[in-house]
Structure 1
């Protein structure tokens, strides 16, 4: 279970504390077990800061605390505080990255939903980048046309192999599993079962996708359809 520690402190020397944290990051390289660190400043009190440190588990947090470097840095941090910091230990009971969930919902719907519904997942100013197209596809109508073409050529589903998120961006590594049932790039239907691996970088706004960038093994797909020789 993921574990989070909140460190609540007041200091008028945040720049010094920031440099101290940089030193801790450098000194614990290859040793620390913390996976994510966020420091927030109270908008109503410029001397009030809360640090949020994430660990894979409580035991890993204790390993991190036992590092000699952590102990030394902690003593220096206390000296920079206007009053002793307070700690809150939390076992994470729900961790929902909403853009990751939206990306997963999009890929699970692809191949199943009708083209008319693709706009439910996209912003009005959506832009689609695909290395096989001469220029980006603009807008929901353009993406609807592209999706209808793929859906007419294949019965397909996406399997999500991995996902990573940062800020408003999500990267999904996927495998497409399909049957060739219609014309594709001038190739008549073969009935061939095919698969293709790829990755999609997505940017989100207000819970919807505003930009997609696709990277996939198009040559491998054409080889399975008998167009490219081995």
Structure 2
């Protein structure tokens, strides 16, 4: 079970605190068990900060706490604070990764299941698309997705398998395997009935609850070889 620690503190020496945290990160390379760290500043009380530190489990957090570098950093942190920091230990009982869920609506609901009406719910009207299959550096508009998917769905019955997915900030990176049966003309190739596979990576940038930009990299040469269109 994931574990999160909240550290609540006040300080007038934020620059010194940042330097202290940078030093701790450098000193604990290869040893620390923390996987994610966020520091937020109170908008209404400018000397008030909350640090959120994520660990794979409470046990891993204890390993991190027992590092001598962590203990030294804590003592120096206290010296920089206005009063003693407070600590709240939390077991994570629900972890919603909303940007991942948004992007997976494209793969599952729109691309595979064919609910093209959901495109306007998932993609911004001024969505910008970057696709290695196209001569243009980028194309704009949610209709780009509708047009591309219509071509792929006319040419293949297909599905996506998500091999790996990583979300950081506003971006979601998906490594996928595509499997399709060639049922209709595609890129000038008459239907062959062949079952084909290819791998690819999609990077989606999300903002305001919609996908704003996308980058596509896929092994199209392998697909065309499987269709017999090239050697």
User: Which TM-score bucket, shorter chain as reference?
Assistant: over 0.9
Q: What does 1:184-199 align with in structure 2 at a 5 Å threshold?
A: 184-199=186-201
Instruction: Give the CA deviation at 1:45.
Output: 1.0
CA distance in structure 2 between the partners assigned to 1:139 and 1:131 by the alignment = 17
1:2 corresponds to which residue?
A: 2
Question: Which 5+ residue runs of structure 1 have no aligned equivalent?
Answer: none
Query: SS of the residue aligned with 1:128?
Result: strand
1:13 corresponds to which residue?
A: 13
User: 1:137, 1:143 within 8 Å by CA — same for their partners in 2?
Assistant: no
User: 1:116, 1:144 within 8 Å by CA — same for their partners in 2?
Assistant: no
1:123 corresponds to which residue?
A: 124
2:92 corresponds to which residue?
A: 92
1:67 and 1:117, CA in 2 relative to 1: closer, same or farther beyond 3 A? closer
CA distance in structure 2 between the partners assigned to 1:116 and 1:52 by the alignment = 39
CA distance in structure 2 between the partners assigned to 1:185 and 1:132 by the alignment = 10
Length-normalised TM-score, structure 2: 0.95
CA distance in structure 2 between the partners assigned to 1:2 and 1:126 by the alignment = 34
Instruction: Give the CA deviation at 1:228.
Output: 2.2
Query: SS of the residue aligned with 2:59?
Result: helix
Query: SS of the residue aligned with 1:204?
Result: strand
User: 1:104, 1:160 within 8 Å by CA — same for their partners in 2?
Assistant: no
1:146 corresponds to which residue?
A: 148
Instruction: Give the CA deviation at 1:114.
Output: 4.6
- Count residues with an aligned counterpart: 229
Q: Deviations over 1:1-21 (max 9, x none)?
A: 110001111111111111111
Question: Which 5+ residue runs of structure 2 have no aligned equivalent?
Answer: none
Q: Is residue 108 from structure 1 mapped to residue 108 from structure 2 by the alignment?
A: yes
CA distance in structure 2 between the partners assigned to 1:119 and 1:42 by the alignment = 35
Moved over 6 A (4+): none
1:225 corresponds to which residue?
A: 227
Instruction: Give the CA deviation at 1:138.
Output: 2.1
Length-normalised TM-score, structure 1: 0.96
